Amino acid sequence: MKLLRLGASGAERPAILHTDGTYRDISSVAVDIAGETLTDEGLARIAAAGIDSLPVLPQSSRIGPCVGDVGKFICIGLNYADHAAETGAELPKEPIIFMKATSAIIGPNDDVRIPKNSKKTDWEVELGVVIGKEARYVDEDDAMDHVAGYCVINDLSEREFQIERSGQWVKGKSADTFGPIGPYLVTRDEVDDPQNLPMWLEVDGHRYQDGSTSTMVFGVATLVSHLSQFMSLQPGDIITTGTPPGVGMGQKPEPVYLKEGQTMKLGIEGLGEQTQKTIAWNA
């Protein structure tokens, strides 16, 4: 299933993408794409609802973040071997974990605001993993049972804030609008192998990132298991799993960073695409 949320910010309705391309309202069986809805039982109720009989929602509706009421937005750094190489970093021996503020979350096609005093706003197409079952001290063999599905994420970053301003990476990752997610939460049964998904990102029509989840250092099962050793994971928590090469910081001979008035397009095979325009922080 491809689940999404439609409507104005803060007033989104849960929906499903029909095979005929229409959006169908699932609010009769799900309050939101969040929490209990993401459990196996909640997803089974949606699957059994009879999509053909559900009301059609306008195709012109704004697409909101594909998950509501996100509890934790957990990020993994330097998790692609080829991206680590472009930054000159050593491969991590364990996953590098940091957080992104949930206030950064926006819809997949909403505008991205360049933060005040930003000099180095950068892009990162990433595979998002949405938790569907509480996880504590989970073995790697059982980890995938705790995944509800997957989504596209643009893990936007302000590199000066992240690297040159001391402290942890979180302050370079958490500006408002720095977390577009969606358009869909694609349930795990529709993704045969999350470690073999082509992914890409373009800015103003120029393709900067053209990679695959196959070069991840730590795969989805490893990440879910590893994180569960240090914190419980709850339905609706999101793990964004790292980015392939081609970020602005890694461009040669000089880095390339985002400025106002540009357009980003990005996507992951089978999970959909995003488009964002960059605007001033106070626009």
**Is residue 67 in a domain?**
no
Look at residue 103 and tell me whether its pLDDT is greater than 90.
yes
Q: Do 28 and 84 belong to one domain?
A: no
Tokens standing for residue 277 = 């325009």
Strands 263-268, 272-280: pairing is: antiparallel
**Is residue 47 in a domain?**
yes
pLDDT band for position 90 (cuts 50, 70, 90):
confident
The larger pLDDT score, comparing residue 274 to residue 164, is at 274
**Is residue 65 in a domain?**
no
The larger pLDDT score, comparing residue 86 to residue 135, is at 135
Count of the separate structural domains present in the chain: 2
Residue 266: what pLDDT?
98
- Give the Å distances, CA to CA, from 274 to 29, 147, 205, 223: 27, 22, 13, 25
Q: Do 33 and 97 belong to one domain?
A: no
Q: Do 213 and 180 belong to one domain?
A: yes
Q: Do 84 and 174 belong to one domain?
A: yes
Q: Do 135 and 248 belong to one domain?
A: yes
CATH number for position 136: 3.90.850.10
**Per-chain mean pLDDT for the chain:** 96
Look at residue 86 and tell me whether its pLDDT is greater than 80.
no
**Is residue 68 in a domain?**
no
pLDDT band for position 149 (cuts 50, 70, 90):
very high
**Is residue 202 in a domain?**
yes
**Is residue 235 in a domain?**
yes
The domain in which residue 20 lies consists of: 2-57
Q: What is the 3-state secondary structure (H, E, C) of 37-57?
A: HHCHHHHHHHHCCCHHHCCEE
**Is residue 64 in a domain?**
no
Q: Do 145 and 274 belong to one domain?
A: yes
Mean pLDDT of 205-223: 97
**Is residue 274 in a domain?**
yes
Q: Report pLDDT digits (tens) over 225-273.
A: 999 999 999 999 999 999 999 999 999 999 999 999 999 999 999 999 9
Q: Do 90 and 215 belong to one domain?
A: yes
In 3D, which of 60, 69, 5 has the Cα closest to residue 36?
69
Q: What phi and psi values does residue 98 have, to the nearest 5 degrees?
A: -150, 170
Residue 283: what pLDDT?
79
Q: Do 86 and 12 belong to one domain?
A: no
Strand partners, 198: 212
Q: Do 7 and 95 belong to one domain?
A: no
Look at residue 88 and tell me whether its pLDDT is greater than 80.
no
Q: Do 152 and 91 belong to one domain?
A: yes
Tokens standing for residue 97 = 């974990």
pLDDT band for position 91 (cuts 50, 70, 90):
confident
Contact indicator for 170, 184 with CB cutoff of 8 Å = no
Q: Do 135 and 232 belong to one domain?
A: yes
pLDDT band for position 167 (cuts 50, 70, 90):
confident
Q: Do 127 and 33 belong to one domain?
A: no
Residue 235: what pLDDT?
98
Look at residue 278 and tell me whether its pLDDT is greater than 90.
yes
pLDDT band for position 31 (cuts 50, 70, 90):
very high
